[in-house]
Structure 1
Amino acid sequence: MPGQIDWIEIPAADTAKARAFYGGLFGWGSAEFGGNYHVIDHGPAGAIAPASVGFTHPRVYFGTEDLDASVKRLHELGGRGEEVEAVPGVGRIAHCHDDQGTPFSLFEPATRS
């Protein structure tokens, strides 16, 4: 559904410590997806991932049915977005900022045949 939160990513300098912390706090488990990226089990749809420059706070992904149209509308409303990226087998994403500079991301799921 457009505008619904579909995924979150929690950045961590030490993903093992972060997984232990959130596991202890909320009972979350995790499964490594690759590259030290850990998908959350028994919690929200999301992952614990290595922090990096520009990725130091949780990242929220809002769903959209048409990523290209959403990015176009984002620009019309004064926001800014990075290049659209394909995530093989998952869909497409774009990291964005609203018109006040607040970061968020957009997600369009892959079509299933």
Structure 2
Amino acid sequence: MSTHHRIDYVELPARDLDNTKQFFRDVFGWGFTDFGPDYTAFEDAGLMGGFFRDSQASRTDRGAALVVLYSRDLDQTQAQVEAAGGRISKAIFSFPGGRRFQFFEPSGNELAVWSDQGMDESADQ
């Protein structure tokens, strides 16, 4: 497959790079490489990207794009997000093709997690 005109890298702001890195390490198993005190690149996330130090946050209510991750066990992932300090912005809900939830990570960025597993369960909360 050609890489020409494909999404190649995503960057998100982070007020607290250390907390953000720890959150994504703990919940999703991502790795990080720091490039100075104000930037860290993430690995093992399915798409390469990074976090840059900034007071802003990426949120859908402000018109930002939503980064959506995949999970084989949505309920477990939501519990891990909450245990690591994430705040749920939309609890698990069903949509055609699956279920998902949205959350704020420690720096305030909003992301989502979806799954096509367990669709026969009544997961609307």
Relative to the length of structure 2, the TM-score reads 0.44
**What is the TM-score with the length of structure 1 in the denominator?**
0.48
Which one has a larger percent strand, Structure 1 or Structure 2?
1
